[in-house]
């Protein structure tokens, strides 16, 4: 099996996919109106993905471009407050376009506005991840965009490349598809050098790969949909660290997702060495700071070694002061650390429900919390315990 066929085999097995759509694909540059024919073809592809049991989230640019038209703003570079106003107005039109197009296939959408802080602040990260997980489980399509209306820095087109990668990392997606107005990475800028050669796949982000991306100048940073190759390489780096494969593909054609499965089409794949689940557990295990300690009984020790979640019933003692989402050390009665993980409860609430069955949590706390104190997906066993 050749390299591309191997990649496509992996794509056919993809279960959780992020599709990033740039402004230049979704919005007509001359009219600032939605490219309805293209969007309808994308909806057909998403319908097919759903039919195959794949979960899909969309990170979509286009709000500012649509807002320009709605607010009759000038065509030049916008001031920060004008960009924020355009984003606020355009986001309504953007969500409506997706809703109207996907409802033909009885596919529901949900609007999610995120910032990079949502991926950096642990509690906000957990809230966002849980929301997106729930939407995907309910077969809805999250339509995700950066929350430009509260941005503290100048809004730069292309940020959604990195945001898409952060979302992929956040929800342990196995594939990120960057639909672009270029068909992949080249050795040099193909618009400037006729001898530029396409790069089919990348297994490591090296200085040489970064150099191929070139630079984005100030003017290009403000052109519609032109985050440039720089942000795409940065997105690839985030994805590969998270165990998520990424492809840069030409989105200018109709049915762009279906076209990716065509071996003859030019595109660039970035292939990680590990899977998303393993990458997430490495990230958790690599946390140097432990904000608290949870001591567990022998039954819980055995359950953890079998890959189970830590339930309140198996907790003997809670030590330290921590909040929901903080990293805790999970120890046996002899004080040996068996694992570390992200706590679903604060130390105060964890102390209250220790020893209780999960169905009793609501009676104890007065609200219906999570059944696990530390979910298996948020838990990393120490290496020697995994090998036993």
pLDDT digits (tens, 9 = 90+) for 96-152: 999 999 999 999 999 999 876 777 677 788 889 989 999 999 999 999 998 877 655
Greatest Cα pair distance in the chain = 70
C-alpha 87/C-alpha 67 separation (Å) is 6
Q: Which residue has the higher pLDDT, 127 or 41?
A: 41
pTM metric for this prediction: 0.82
Task: Tell me the average pLDDT across 66-87.
Answer: 87
348 is written with which tokens? 């105060």
Least confident residue range of 18-22, 117-121, 333-337: 117-121
User: What pLDDT was estimated at residue 6?
Assistant: 61
pLDDT tens column, 302-321 = 999 999 999 999 999 999 99
Four-residue CA torsion sign, 10, 283, 173, 148? negative
Cβ within 8 Å of residue 94, ≥6 positions away: 26, 60, 62, 63, 66, 143, 145
Alpha helices in the chain (DSSP H): 3-12, 23-26, 36-51, 63-70, 80-102, 116-120, 122-137, 159-170, 207-213, 218-221, 228-241, 256-259, 276-285, 298-305, 347-353, 361-365, 383-387
Band the pLDDT of 352: cuts 50, 70, 90. Answer: very high
Query: Helix or strand or coil: residue 255?
Result: coil
Residue 153 has what DSSP assignment? Answer: S
| Average pLDDT, integer, range 281-297 | 84
Give the CA radius of gyration of the chain: 23
Top-confidence residue, 121 or 160: 160
Burial of 100 from C-beta contacts in 10 A (0-12 / 13-18 / 19+): middle
For residues 139 and 107, is the Cβ–Cβ distance under 8 A?
A: yes
Q: How many CB atoms lie within 10 A of CB 333?
A: 12
Give dist(CA 300, CA 332) in Å, integer. 9
């Amino acid at each position: 099996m050749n390299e591309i066929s191997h990649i496509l085999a992996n794509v056919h097995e993809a279960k959780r996919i992020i599709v990033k759509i740039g402004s230049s694909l979704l919005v007509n540059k001359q009219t600032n109106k939605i490219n309805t024919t293209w969007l309808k073809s994308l909806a057909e592809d998403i319908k097919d993905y759903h039919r195959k049991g794949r979960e899909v989230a969309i990170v979509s640019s286009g709000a500012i471009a649509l807002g320009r038209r709605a607010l009759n703003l000038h065509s030049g570079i916008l001031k920060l407050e004008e960009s924020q106003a355009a984003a606020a107005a355009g986001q309504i039109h953007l969500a409506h376009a997706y809703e109207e197009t996907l409802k033909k296939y009885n596919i529901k959408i949900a609007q999610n506005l995120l910032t990079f802080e949502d991926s950096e602040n642990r509690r906000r990260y957990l809230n966002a991840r849980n929301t997106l997980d729930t939407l995907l489980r309910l077969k809805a399509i999250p339509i995700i965009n950066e929350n430009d209306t509260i941005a503290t820095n100048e809004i730069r087109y292309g940020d959604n490349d990195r945001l898409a990668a952060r979302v992929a990392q956040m929800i342990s997606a196995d594939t990120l598809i960057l639909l672009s107005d270029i068909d992949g990475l080249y050795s040099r800028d193909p618009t400037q050098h006729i001898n530029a050669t396409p790069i089919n796949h990348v297994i490591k982000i090296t200085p040489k790969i970064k150099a191929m991306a070139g630079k984005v100048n100030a003017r290009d940073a403000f052109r519609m949909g032109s985050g440039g190759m720089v942000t795409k390489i940065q997105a690839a780096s985030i994805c590969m660290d998270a165990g998520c494969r990424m492809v840069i593909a030409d989105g200018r054609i109709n049915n762009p997702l279906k076209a990716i499965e065509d071996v003859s089409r030019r595109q660039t794949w970035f292939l990680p060495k590990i899977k998303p689940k393993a990458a997430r557990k490495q990230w958790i295990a690599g946390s140097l700071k432990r904000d608290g300690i949870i001591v567990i009984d022998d039954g819980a020790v055995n359950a953890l070694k079998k890959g189970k979640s830590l339930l309140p019933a198996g907790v003997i003692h809670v030590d330290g002061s921590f909040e929901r989402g903080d990293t805790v050390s999970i120890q046996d009665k002899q004080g040996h650390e068996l694992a570390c993980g992200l706590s679903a409860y604060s130390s105060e609430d964890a102390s209250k429900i220790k020893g209780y069955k999960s169905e009793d949590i609501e009676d104890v706390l007065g609200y219906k919390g999570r059944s696990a104190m530390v979910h298996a997906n948020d838990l990393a066993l120490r290496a020697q315990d995994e090998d036993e």
